[in-house]
Structure 1
Amino acid sequence: MLLATMTTANPLSPDTLLSGSGALLVLAVILFAECGLLIGFFLPGDTLIFAAGISIATHDIHTSLAAFLIVAPIAAILGNLVGYWIGYRAGPVVFDRPESHIFRPEYVQRSHDFFERFGSWTIIIGRFVPIVRTVATVMAGVGRMRFSLYALYSAVGGILWADGVLLLGHQLGKVKFVRDHKGYIDYLVILVVVVALAPVILHYWQSRMRKR
């Protein structure tokens, strides 16, 4: 009962955001904002995509899975293109605020570290890491990354992330245990992200070991 009350009270909970006939539009707007607008870094993109997949499987959302598979990556990719433009035009000014609680310099450092480790692949890998997926796209613009290359990696990453998490949620939504524990979806998303990043973490660990 307490969990249900907390979920209802939270305006950013998947059950609240995905309720009603406008679930697809809400998802598209949030993915666009999280992937492209700096103020969108706190939005629950992973959780929302995963929850949408489960809700489609359980028929709580009546819009077709195909519509979500088309719209979700498009929204994420368009958001990235806007984020690149923001970084290209205004990135250095926006992030040069040591006292800011939102555009904090350490977010830039975190994304910079990702670029240092993984190069252009950061655009794809960063999709699966909260905050990094928002800031990395802006940093690509700040660093004047070649736009054609950026757009390619952004498209690949957008499809892998949005459709991958959506399909995973849809498949797991057919499992009774998952359907009965939707209230713990945040923990399921964390598990999904960890599994998705396992190869990256292994690669980084092996690189560190070779340098010793």
Structure 2
Amino acid sequence: MDFEALKTTTLTFVETHKEWAPLIIAVLAFCESLAFLSILVPATVLLVAIGALIGASGIPFWPMVIAGGIGAGLGDWVSYEIGRYFQHGAKSIWPMSRYPQMVAKGEDFCRRYGAWGIVIGRFIGPARAVVPLIAGMFEVARLPFQLANWSSAFVWAFVWLAPGAGVISFFNA
């Protein structure tokens, strides 16, 4: 299945089965935030497209933001725990092993910004799923990581869904 067919199928399903929209958004946000899986799933484009569908079809905005925030927060949390578990051995796992320069940049980023790097990294495309993994590898303390993770997850979900939903419609939801 090509990307355009996947996008059309997903949007048609969400429009037809609006009650499934929060779960679909949560799963897409999880996939977008989970190390390695974010490379395989075109979640960002789908989230923006679903945001437009929210504005056009009367799907309530705020439950979708909450669902997206939960999915993104869980994805980063799992990535962080994978990094803590494997520590520096995670560097030998694909795709980290294929992009050592990206890992080095992520390491420098985590050293420089600590838990704040999670907030910043969430909004930088390729870094989004890698920074939590690297934060786990370098054992950034769990509490600061989780505070940064969950607060930025909901802001991230809002940022991706709001433009399509329209500035006025999300305040009316």
TM range (shorter): 0.7 to 0.9
Aligned to 2:46: 48
Task: Provide the rounded CA distance (Å) in 1 between the counterparts of 2:111 and 2:146.
Answer: 19
Q: Residue 136 of structure 1: CA displacement? A: 0.4
2:124 to 121, 129, 135: 129
36, 39, 64: which is aligned to 1:38? 36
Asked if 1:19 is matched to 2:15, the reply is: no
| 1:65-144 correspondence to structure 2 within 5 Å | 65-96=61-92, 100=94, 102-103=95-96, 104=98, 105-144=100-139
Evaluate the alpha carbon distance shift between residue 116 and residue 169 of structure 1 in structure 2; reply closer, same or farther with a 3 A threshold.
farther
Alignment: residue pair count: 162
Asked whether the equivalents of residues 57 and 173 of structure 1 are also in contact (C-alpha less than 8 Å), the reply is no
Task: Report the more deviating stretch, 34-43 or 65-74.
Answer: 34-43
Q: Report the equivalent of 1:184.
A: none
Letter in 1 for 2:120: I
Q: Which structure has the larger Rg?
A: 1
Does the 8 Å CA contact 1:114/1:122 hold for their aligned counterparts? yes
Q: In percent, how many aligned pairs have the same letter? A: 27
Closer/same/farther in 2, CA of residues 45 and 9 from structure 1, 3 Å limit:
closer
Q: Say if 1:109 and 1:67 are closer, same or farther in 2 by CA, change over 3 A.
A: same
Q: TM-score, normalised to structure 2's length?
A: 0.79
**SS of aligned partner of 1:19:** helix
Q: What's the Cα RMSD here?
A: 2.5
Q: Secondary structure at the match of 1:49?
A: helix
- Who is 2:146 aligned against? 151
Query: Normalized against structure 1, the TM-score is what?
Result: 0.66
* CA separation of 1:9 and 1:34: change in aligned 2, threshold 3 A: closer
Q: Distance in 1 between matches of 2:107 and 2:113?
A: 10
Report if the CA contact (8 A) 2:28-2:43 is conserved. yes
In structure 2, stretches of 5+ residues that fail to align are none
Q: Larger relative contact order (C-alpha < 8 A, sep ≥ 6)?
A: 2
Tell me how far 1:113 sits from its aligned partner. Answer: 3.5
